[in-house]
């Protein structure tokens, strides 16, 4: 059972304490919170997320970290808050690009932080430096209850709200839920862009499953072992450090969003003797129920691509592919069967 209420769609705004005027380093993200009292919240700053970097810098200086918590936001900023952007990429600027006009923001009256214009409720306060208390358990996006852990403490100093504010919540748990539809596409796109920038051979990234704990990546191959290098890079992207636990690599003619094609690649191209790459004692977010201890796991790359030189394993011949007219035949036969009396 959960120990307290979690405002699931609350977004937390914070700035880099060492570079507070850098708009790009200001972070807008969703983090698990537990209401613990009238002016007190527990907050989980996942170590791989930007807010954890902000908090670490503040605590090194012995300072509290000012934050603003916004509830009832524009859906576009909700999407951006769940998107794993680069550290110096602004969620507001990307939201503006999607809107094709600057994203409207307001100044929070106490902290001076930039908050989404039109939010229903704004809570301002600080994450108290070097203070931890038990937070949780809580039903999480992994489909499991997470345990109670020592987490940061938030002190609320000011509350602002619209007349008759509307409270927005979020349904999450065993997939598929609302949060999977929110986070899935927002995880696929940044991973694809980051990999494509370094490996133009990458064709598509499917990270729809449990916020990318499993990713399926299709790529062309420059040489033997290339697909595995792409898989390793996926695990070391900003998002991959905490989430990409398993990667299935497939050829460029396999659609990673088409699971029958992926299953075909796994069943026909994988030799367990050489196509499984296990990486011990890697980082993952603590909420991964399979990690032991929490936050540490072995990671796995499954290479389901066709070997190319100098990797000459196996005896792969010409793939059996449909003729161009096959689709038309199938549609005609389907129509004939449907019209049978």
Q: What is the pLDDT of residues 21-57, one digit of tens each?
A: 999 999 999 888 889 889 999 998 888 889 999 999 9
Is 252 contained in some domain? yes
Is 318 contained in some domain? no
71 strand-pairing partners: 121
Given a cut of 70, whether residue 3 has pLDDT beyond it is no
Rounded to whole angstroms, the Cα distance separating 83 from 211 reads: 10
Q: In this structure, what token pair is assigned to residue 184?
A: 């899935």
**CA-based nearest residue to 262, from 247, 244, 243, 275:** 247
Is 341 contained in some domain? no
Number of domains the chain is built from: 2
pLDDT digits (tens, 9 = 90+) for 57-110: 999 999 999 999 999 998 888 888 878 888 999 999 999 999 999 999 999 999
pTM of the complete model beyond 0.95 = no
Rounded to whole angstroms, the Cα distance separating 71 from 121 reads: 5
Rounded to whole angstroms, the Cα distance separating 276 from 185 reads: 27
CA 254 and chain centroid, separation: 23
Are 146 and 242 part of one and the same domain? no
Mean pLDDT (whole number) for 215-223: 96
Backbone angles phi, psi at 255, to 5 degrees: -80, 115
Q: In this structure, what token pair is assigned to residue 60?
A: 């090194």
Query: Which of the listed residues 161, 188, 220 is the one where a domain comes to its end?
Result: 161
Are 144 and 183 part of one and the same domain? no
Is 325 contained in some domain? no
CB 46, CB 211: distance < 8 Å:
no
CATH number of the domain that residue 186 is part of? 3.40.1670.10
**CA-based nearest residue to 305, from 235, 257, 260, 247:** 247
CATH number of the domain that residue 97 is part of? 2.30.110.10
Is 56 contained in some domain? yes
Q: Which residues are catalytic?
A: 140
CA 321 and chain centroid, separation: 35
Are 156 and 226 part of one and the same domain? no
Given a cut of 90, whether residue 229 has pLDDT beyond it is yes
Rounded to whole angstroms, the Cα distance separating 205 from 196 reads: 10
Q: Is 109 helix (H, G, I), strand (E, B) or coil?
A: coil
Residue 99: give the domain boundaries.
Answer: 11-161
Query: Which of the listed residues 129, 161, 193 is the one where a domain comes to its end?
Result: 161
User: 18 — alpha (psi -120 to 50), left (phi > 0) or beta?
Assistant: alpha
Are 73 and 115 part of one and the same domain? yes
């Amino acid at each position: 059972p959960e120990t307290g209420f979690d405002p699931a769609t609350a977004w937390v705004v914070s700035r880099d304490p060492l570079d507070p005027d850098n708009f790009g380093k200001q972070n807008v993200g969703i983090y698990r919170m537990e209401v613990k009292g009238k002016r007190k919240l527990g907050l989980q700053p996942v170590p791989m997320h930007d807010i954890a970097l902000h908090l670490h810098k503040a605590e090194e200086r012995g300072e509290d970290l000012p934050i603003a918590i916004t509830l009832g936001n524009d859906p576009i900023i909700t999407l951006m808050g769940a998107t794993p952007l680069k550290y110096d990429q602004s969620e507001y600027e990307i939201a503006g690009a999607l809107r094709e006009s600057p994203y409207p923001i307001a100044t929070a009256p106490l902290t001076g932080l930039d908050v989404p214009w039109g939010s229903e409720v704004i809570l301002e306060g600080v994450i108290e430096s070097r203070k931890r208390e038990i937070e949780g358990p809580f039903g999480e996006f992994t489909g499991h209850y997470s345990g109670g852990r020592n987490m940061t403490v938030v002190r609320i100093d000011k509350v602002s709200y619209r007349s008759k504010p509307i409270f927005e919540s979020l349904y999450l748990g065993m997939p598929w839920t609302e949060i999977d539809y929110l986070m899935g596409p927002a995880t696929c796109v940044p991973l694809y862009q980051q990999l494509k920038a370094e490996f133009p051979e990458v064709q598509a990234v499917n990270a729809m499953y449990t916020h990318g704990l499993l990713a399926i990546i299709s790529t062309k191959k420059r040489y033997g072992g290339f697909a595995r290098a792409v898989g390793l890079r996926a695990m070391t992207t900003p998002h991959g450090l905490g989430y990409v636990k398993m990667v299935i690599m497939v050829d460029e003619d396999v659609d990673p969003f088409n699971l029958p094609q992926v299953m075909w690649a796994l069943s026909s191209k994988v030799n367990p003797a050489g196509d499984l790459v296990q990486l011990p004692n890697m980082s993952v977010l603590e909420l991964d129920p399979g990690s032991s201890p929490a936050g540490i796991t072995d990671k796995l790359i499954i290479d389901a691509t066709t070997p190319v030189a100098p990797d000459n394993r196996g005896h792969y011949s010409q793939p059996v592919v449909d003729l161009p007219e096959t689709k038309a035949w199938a549609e005609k036969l389907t129509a004939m069967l449907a019209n049978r009396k």
